[in-house]
Amino acid sequence: MSAKLLTPLSLKWWFEDRSSGKIVVAQQPNILLVLCLVALGAAWIWSDSLAVVVIGKICWLTWSADELFRGVNPWRRALGLVVGVLTLVS
């Protein structure tokens, strides 16, 4: 029995949870993501409020840091990195 070597070119490498072997794209419940979406809605309603914008950015940076450091696969970690960078530059 030979184990197939997973590489970054493999979709399984990107999406496999290393602890369970299951394919994971998103998980629930994700309370941080819900908070981010609420903040996004609040920013849409109160677009002139600096406090709402700052709170929204803090929510997105918290979510992205959580994914970056605790993501179960490279896809989740990469998503956390991209969202964090986009939040900082926007």
Domain annotation covers residue 21: yes
Between CA 22 and CA 83 the distance in angstroms is 24
Instruction: State how far the alpha carbon of 31 is from the alpha carbons of 23, 36, 37, 54, 60, in Å.
Output: 21, 9, 10, 19, 12
Domain annotation covers residue 49: yes
* Structure confidence at residue 60 (pLDDT): 97
Residue 5's pLDDT band (cuts 50, 70, 90) = low
Model pTM score: 0.83
Domain annotation covers residue 2: no
Residue 28's pLDDT band (cuts 50, 70, 90) = confident
pLDDT above 90: percentage of residues in the chain: 66
* Structure confidence at residue 1 (pLDDT): 40
Domain annotation covers residue 54: yes
Q: Quick: pLDDT tens for 34-66.
A: 999 999 999 999 989 999 999 999 999 999 999
Task: List the domain range (segments joined by +) for residue 47.
Answer: 11-89
